[in-house]
Amino acid sequence: MDKLVIEGGQPLSGSIRIHGAKNAALPILAATLLTEGKIQLRNVPRLLDIEVMLEILNALGCIAVQRDDLVTVDTSGADSSHVPEQLMKLMRSSIFLMGPLLARFGEVCIYQPGGCAIGERKIDLHLKGLSALGAVIEEQDNQLWCRASRLKGCDIHLDFPSVGATENIMMAAATAEGTTVITNAAREPEIQDLQRFLNELGASIIGAGTDTITIRGVNKLTPCEYEIIPDRIVAGTVMIAAAATRGTIRLTHANPVHLTSLIHVLRRAGVQIGICDDIITVSSSGRPKAVDRIVTSPYPSFPTDLQSQIMVLLSLAEGMTLMKETVFEGRFKHVDELVRMGADISVDLNAAFIRGVPRLYGATVEATDLRAGAALVIAGLAAQGKTVVEQIHHIDRGYDRIELMFQRLGGKMHRQTPAMKLDLA
């Protein structure tokens, strides 16, 4: 398995273009099934999860191809509503296919997506929403069969503002009979991007970005071209890395509005942040200051997807920070690895007590999930000495060649593949 070898202690500097958002591209790729014809998507990142989604679309009869950051999907040949199990297991986000396949074929068969390192990842809110629209759902072994002769709009209240459930219901309701109103909807920028895309196809949706989304069902959707928004979590990861290495960097093609909560925390920690249109500059010359507490919760609050990364910065701060993770019940798997690098962090259920230390030390550490892996890369860049991050396939799911991104910013890091090791032998 590939590893990242990092020589820490080098302040990051330079400019980096932020790539398209994984969590916007995945539901939008699934939504292409709502129409027949050729759709062009620009600014699609080159990631393992995107590759898997394209494989699933091809397995369903589409022709989906990515060249650089341009994806074309021809859905006219789609002829199956059965998501292959081996692909479903590779990526939980295959759950996004339920709504579009149900709307297009009147049935869908998926496999229970299962949990992952960050928590149980239930799908009850997805199923409740789809059955409210008229779907009949049966569980056979580990398969979920979902059928609906006709989807009918209705009012749906989400017990929790689930991102995925909001997106699945939006996609299923886009061509349903009548109007659907989702209350307590998720408000993330990726939901807003999905609404824009669906409306480009000819849907009639308003309210994304608020907690109430209204979808007036239309008869037909037609192909379009579309550009995906920038990835706010990749941008946030780079911003935190600049602060942790006391560097000065410039991000382009970013959207500062999507990063308001992170920018607020970084400024409280003493980091200078400049904003001009889609350019964000980050500069830090000294040790960060602790912020008394951070609580992750749904957008626009502090994002759970930046929790592990900001913990690295705060583990180097002067003072103590209380971190509470309220979205996923298992998202502190990176703490043990940071402690092995010299961090002083203790965990009690969903709370982490971070006592800042002057420095971290390089070590061999293991990525347990996507964002925990990104946090360990930041720790390696900030630490004294050499860090080896293992199991980096987790990181490749959400970052387009993370080593190139940080090399461009002066980070001393390279990817070690097993073949390379043989050469070295």
**What are the catalytic residues?**
116
> CB-based burial of residue 155 (10 Å sphere; 0-12 exposed, 13-18 middle, 19+ buried)?
exposed
Q: 196 is written with which tokens? A: 């824009």
Task: Give the x-and-dash track for 166-205 against ligand EPZ (CB under 6 A).
Answer: --------------------x-------------------
Candidates 22-30, 66-74, 170-178, 276-284 — which segment interacts with ligand EPZ by CB under 6 A? 22-30
Binding residues: 22-23, 92, 305, 327
Q: 179, 214 in Cβ contact below 8 A?
A: yes
Query: How many residues touch ligand EPZ (CB under 6 A)?
Result: 25
In the bound state with ligand EPZ, the residue whose beta carbon lies nearer, of 319 and 330, is: 330
Q: What share of the chain is helix, strand, coil (3-state, %, to 5)?
A: 35, 30, 35
Q: What's the closest the beta carbon of residue 6 comes to ligand EPZ, in angstroms?
A: 21
Task: Give the x-and-dash track for 361-380 against ligand EPZ (CB under 6 A).
Answer: ---------xx---------
Q: 328, 372 in Cβ contact below 8 A?
A: no
Contact between 122 and ligand EPZ by CB under 6 A: the answer reads: yes
Contact between 324 and ligand EPZ by CB under 6 A: the answer reads: no
Rounded to 5 degrees, φ, ψ at 33 are -70, -10
Q: 333 is written with which tokens? A: 């798997």
Contact between 120 and ligand EPZ by CB under 6 A: the answer reads: yes
Question: Which residue in 394, 368, 402 sits closest to 234, CA to CA?
Answer: 402
In the bound state with ligand EPZ, the residue whose beta carbon lies nearer, of 100 and 164, is: 164
Give the residue, chosen from 47, 60, 97, 123, that forms a contact with ligand EPZ under the rule CB under 6 A: 123
Q: What's the closest the beta carbon of residue 397 comes to ligand EPZ, in angstroms?
A: 8
Q: 387 is written with which tokens? A: 């860090």
Contact between 162 and ligand EPZ by CB under 6 A: the answer reads: yes
The CB-side HSE value for 287 (13 A sphere, CA atoms) comes to 12
Q: 269 is written with which tokens? A: 């920690």
Contact between 53 and ligand EPZ by CB under 6 A: the answer reads: no
Contact between 305 and ligand EPZ by CB under 6 A: the answer reads: yes
In the bound state with ligand EPZ, the residue whose beta carbon lies nearer, of 189 and 362, is: 189
> Rounded to whole angstroms, what are the CA distances from 241 to 175, 199, 227, 292, 352?
43, 36, 27, 20, 20
Site for ligand EPZ in 202-241 (CB under 6 A): none
Q: What's the closest the beta carbon of residue 57 comes to ligand EPZ, in angstroms?
A: 16
Lookup result for tokens 């998507």: 41
Give the residue, chosen from 12, 18, 25, 26, that forms a contact with ligand EPZ under the rule CB under 6 A: 26
Q: What single DSSP character describes residue 20?
A: B
Contact between 163 and ligand EPZ by CB under 6 A: the answer reads: yes
Contact between 119 and ligand EPZ by CB under 6 A: the answer reads: yes
- What is the Cα–Cα distance from 273 to 280, expressed in whole angstroms? 7
Binding residues for UDP-N-acetyl-alpha-D-glucosamine: 92, 305, 327
The residues that touch ligand EPZ, with contacts defined as CB under 6 A, are: 22-23, 26, 93, 119-126, 160, 162-165, 186, 304-305, 327-328, 370-371, 398
